[in-house]
Amino acid sequence: MEIIVDAYTQDEQAMGWQIYLEETIDFPFEANCIKEKEVSPLSEGETVRVVGVPSTDPSLRQQFVTIQWKDSELGVPLSQLEPVDASDNTKQAVADWHYWLNR
């Protein structure tokens, strides 16, 4: 709740989440796909390198990260990834986002 403490609208809350994630996650890091999503080509169990954040509008239901995948870069939902080789800050930020979605 500290992330959205001064946010009054859903757009402000989404922006708060985006800023928190961008400032807390240490890129690049390795992550496993923990679930398949319709908007992503990743398969469950697949390992990818997360390299940044795409320039998409944030939402309270979906935050995207940029991954290296098959000789290209693309945005996938952060909710389908779990860090495996990442800093403690990165692991905490991703866990915070997963908690927010599952609450």
Confidence class of residue 5 from pLDDT cuts 50, 70 and 90? low
Question: Of 98, 74, 103, 80, which Cα lies nearest the Cα of 21?
Answer: 98
Summarize pLDDT for 56-84 with one digit per residue, the tens: 887 888 999 999 999 999 999 999 999 99
Summarize pLDDT for 6-59 with one digit per residue, the tens: 778 888 888 888 989 999 999 999 999 999 999 999 999 999 999 999 888 878
Domain boundaries, the chain: 2-102
Q: Model's pTM, two decimal places?
A: 0.90
Q: Assign domain 2-102 to a CATH class.
A: mainly beta
- The reported pLDDT for the residue numbered 1 is 56
Report the C-alpha gap between 43 and 9 in whole angstroms: 34
